[in-house]
Amino acid sequence: MKCAVVICITLIAGLFAFAYLSLRSDEHAQIVNSRHELEIALKDLQETGGVHDHTTILGTNINVVSRPFLFTNVVLIDGTNYRCAVALDDIWMRRMAATTNGVFIFFGKKRSPQLISSK
């Protein structure tokens, strides 16, 4: 009987751990995809002066709910001003922006803006 209870608790704990790690993985993948979309949008802005939607994989737009747009705000992070050029809102209503010199900034729901590492 004790063995069955221990096994059941272990399985439930494993299920919760898997669900938590899966959610974190999905969130990280969304940030990576958004960053890639911003890189393309920033390149478009620098080359053509405008921002366009792109089809990325097999002719389908995989990021249909988050389209890049012009975003000309100045953000202060750790005493440094960053001038944004383009931004993107993801499916969880978080904003991510790219500056004119290629720095990426993440605007979370509950935290202040933070820089995203280069890779």
pTM of the predicted model over 0.75? no
Burial class (CB in 10 A: 0-12, 13-18, 19+), 86: buried
Given a cut of 60, is residue 56 above it in pLDDT? Answer: no
Q: How far is Cα 41 from Cα 48, in angstroms, rounded to an integer?
A: 10
Task: Calculate what percentage of the chain has a pLDDT beyond 90.
Answer: 16
How many domains does one find in the chain? 1
Question: In which domain, by residue range, is 93 found?
Answer: 2-116
Given a cut of 80, is residue 17 above it in pLDDT? Answer: yes
